[in-house]
Amino acid sequence: MEFFVQQIASGLTSGAIYACVALGLVMIYVSTDHINFAQGEMAMFATYLAWSMIDAGVPYWVAFGSTILVAFFSGLFIQRVILKPLETAPVLALVVCFIALLSIFNALAGMIWSFTIKQFPSPFPRVDIFGNGLVSAQQIGVVAVTLVMLAILTVFFRYTTLGLAMRAAAQNAASARLMGVRVSWMLALGWGLASGIGAIAGMLVAPIVFLDPNMMTGILVYGFAGALVGGIANPMGAVAGGFIVGVLENLVGSYIIGNELKLSFALIMVVGVLLLKPAGIFGRVIVRRV
Amino acid sequence: MIRRRTALLSAASLTIAGKARAQKKYAPGITDTEIKIGQTMPYSGNASAYGVAGRNQAAYFRMINEAGGINGRKIVLISLDDGYSPPKTMELARQLVERDQVAFLFYPLGTQTNTAIQKYMNQKKVPHLFLATGASKWGDPKNFPWTMGWQPDYHTECKIFAKHMIANIKDPKIAILRQNDDMGNDYIGGFREGLGAGWEKMVVADATYEVTDPTIDSQILQLKNSGATVFMNITTPKFAAQAIKKVAEIGWKPIHYLVSVAASVGAVMRPAGIENGQGIVTAQFAKDVTDPRWATSPDYIEWKAFMDKWNPTANQLEGSNVSSYIVVHALVQVLKQCGDDLSRENIMRQAANIKDLEIPLLLPGIKVNTSPTNFYPLRTEQLARFEGDHWTLFGDLISADGT
């Protein structure tokens, strides 16, 4: 029984990581209608910036805050400079562009900081909540931050004018433009926010998995799985999806199929959900008026 | 008249033959002034942490060339990025051999990557020398006379660990964590052989992970749950660091054995937390440059001077900067032995003719030996325990033949 609880606790922690990354993916999807494959690498790169600052003696929270700001503006910048010219390009051109960004950021990080893993400090105290090594403050912290981000995003997209404008711009650019929404800037804002969320995810993940340029590659796949299982157009669904993938992966891996097939299991979940309920378990089916 | 002419002719042919014998023999890529060699390295991708090896060797060859080269020939190293992806390695090996016309491949890194090109190199009869992988399959001169490994192989190493466990731990209950690939399988093969009939009784848990797994927390919990008292950790650097940290976090206190490929102080032990790594046992064939006991040894001082001058931006705590330095010495020896007969055949012949070569930074007493039937240049290791912030050697040198 203790083993079962441990596996669930560890599953929830990895689930929180996937959920964080999934949130960034949802953010981009909701605000631009695309899936950004470079999301993970951008987050990794931001985490390196934070690491450099902390290494140079900047206090943790200052580094944390300024990294989010820098990430936000770089996201904005990338959209303005690289993606704006492609606004009317076919979706495949964008995919190629995202993959290019992925390898550029990966190689750049390797060049600047080398590929050796680095220890990233955790903002949370090194305490053991129940005294049995089951749940650490770091794990609770990751879950808490993910939930807070989720709450903020939900409120933002549902109740603020800006959030609604962003969704409108992504869903139906032409109508939004007629309503006076500056569509192009909404897309840029979406990139900025997603990049900021990615930075937070990166800084939360790094103390657990260690910082290296390939830190996010494995996680991104599970993040996708979480987002798709929960519903990629729905922040709440994506977070729930992340947790579901994390916990099920651990339980199925420990009890049923063995560790070898954990990733395959996550992918099978994705395929299954897409076949049976394409909008995701918690997703609403969006009907578009033509 | 006719007789005279014949005599002249035969005299002429004799001198030609004589000349040919004294003439220098060169493989493609070799001239009077240059030896061109190729290499594949993971400068990007999953295993890119190992890329420092290629950079360090390039620095070493720069130093050699500055000093006039080997027998007057400068070394040109073409080191290409294969991203640790076997199909890419294949493509690059072809490019190096056929387009760039290198004399041979030196220290290409990776087990799967070298597996992909082994047949090709042997078909083309191009030396495939001193591979940067510890798989046990490289010492097979009968079937692959053009391929030669380098470091003590995984199989042997894990056998050494198994023997040590049986001899020193009363009633061991062993949990294994291993990477689910060639490397993990090779290690586990040696471990199984070392434990022999004890395997069934002693191994209580055997968990695998994939290199794509974000974390291995779940596996570590499974292993702890098995009630094991010994932990055989067969991982690559990032996962080794994760495992060491997680084991400490959940308060599991097994006797911990860590494979040498993941025992770098700078790339694993420090990031994992020095306090978490205390007491871990590994095996070594090279001096740990963080160990203060070598600080005054001449070979350490020489290496340090080389690093400071020729590769100043490198992290000197990374084990790859030592292993890549050691193997270069073996290559230099082979090329020196070749003299002016730098045909591919002779390069291979000399590589299989290294006798008791002592190389800086190898542990005292370890010598490099090869022969036409022994394509394993290094077969000896010594166990070491992590104490304070470095590895401390203990026990005697253990060789493959001795186990």
Query: Looking at residue B95, which CATH number applies to its domain?
Result: 3.40.50.2300
Q: Do A110 and B44 touch (CB under 8 A)?
A: yes
Q: Say which of A3, A11, A208 has its CB closest to residue B225.
A: A3
Q: Is residue B45 part of a domain?
A: yes
- Coil, strand or helix at A84: helix
Overall average pLDDT of the B332-349 stretch: 94
Confidence (pLDDT) at B342: 93
Check pLDDT > 60 for residue B17: no
Check pLDDT > 60 for residue B89: yes
- B140-154: burial string, b at 16+ Cβ within 10 Å, e else: ebeebbbbbbbbbbb
Confidence (pLDDT) at B120: 96
User: Using one digit for the tens of pLDDT, what is the confidence trace for B141-172?
Assistant: 999 999 999 999 898 899 999 989 998 998 99
Contacts of residue B214 in chain A, CB cutoff 8 Å? 14, 17, 209, 218-219, 222
Give CA–CA dist B211/A142, Å, rounded: 23
Q: Are B345 and B338 in contact (CB under 8 A)?
A: no
Q: Is residue A230 part of a domain?
A: no
Overall average pLDDT of the B349-367 stretch: 94
Q: Do B48 and A118 touch (CB under 8 A)?
A: no
Domain stops at, among B284, B311, B330: B284
Say if residue B142 is in the same domain as residue B172.
no
Pick from A70-74, B4-8, B175-179, B210-214: least confident: B4-8
Check pLDDT > 70 for residue B22: no
Q: Say which of B44, B219, B315 has its CB closest to residue A107.
A: B44
Q: Are B255 and A227 in contact (CB under 8 A)?
A: no
Confidence (pLDDT) at B7: 54
Domain count for chain A: 1
Say if residue B262 is in the same domain as residue B313.
no
Pick from A61-70, A120-129, A145-154, B263-272: least confident: A120-129
Write out the residue range of the structural domain in which residue A80 sits: 22-215
Q: What is the overall mean pLDDT for chain A?
A: 86
Say if residue B86 is in the same domain as residue B129.
yes
Q: B257 φ, ψ to 5°?
A: -105, 130
Confidence class for position A6, pLDDT limits 50, 70, 90? confident
Say if residue B237 is in the same domain as residue B178.
yes
Q: Is residue B346 part of a domain?
A: yes
Say if residue B176 is in the same domain as residue B112.
no
Angle (deg, nearest 10), helices A183-209 and A161-171: 100
Domain stops at, among B259, B284, B309: B284
Q: Is residue B261 part of a domain?
A: yes
Q: Is residue B60 part of a domain?
A: yes
Overall average pLDDT of the B287-303 stretch: 91
Say if residue B166 is in the same domain as residue B130.
no
Position A163, amino acid: G
Contacts of residue A218 in chain B, CB cutoff 8 Å? 211-214
Higher pLDDT, B401 or B309: B309
Write out the residue range of the structural domain in which residue B252 sits: 155-284
Contacts of residue B223 in chain A, CB cutoff 8 Å? none
Check pLDDT > 80 for residue B259: yes
- A216-228: burial string, b at 16+ Cβ within 10 Å, e else: bbbbbbbbbbbbb
Position A158, amino acid: R
Q: Say which of A214, A222, A249 has its CB closest to residue B46.
A: A214
Q: Is residue B345 part of a domain?
A: yes
Say if residue B162 is in the same domain as residue B275.
yes
Confidence class for position B3, pLDDT limits 50, 70, 90? low
Confidence (pLDDT) at B44: 81
- Kindly report the three-state secondary structure assignment for every residue of B273-309: CHHHHCCCEEEECECCCCCHHHCCCHHHHHHHHHHHH
User: Using one digit for the tens of pLDDT, what is the confidence trace for A100-142?
Assistant: 999 899 989 988 888 888 889 888 877 666 666 667 777 888 8
Confidence (pLDDT) at B6: 56
Say if residue B146 is in the same domain as residue B162.
no
User: Using one digit for the tens of pLDDT, what is the confidence trace for B266-293?
Assistant: 889 999 999 999 999 999 999 988 888 8
Q: Are B217 and A14 in contact (CB under 8 A)?
A: yes
Antiparallel, parallel or unpaired: β B341-342 and B25-26: parallel
Confidence class for position B4, pLDDT limits 50, 70, 90? low
Q: Is residue A248 part of a domain?
A: no
Q: What is the overall mean pLDDT for chain B?
A: 89
Domain count for chain B: 2
Contacts of residue B49 in chain A, CB cutoff 8 Å? 114-117, 212
Say if residue B127 is in the same domain as residue B171.
no
Overall average pLDDT of the B347-359 stretch: 94
Overall average pLDDT of the B361-366 stretch: 92
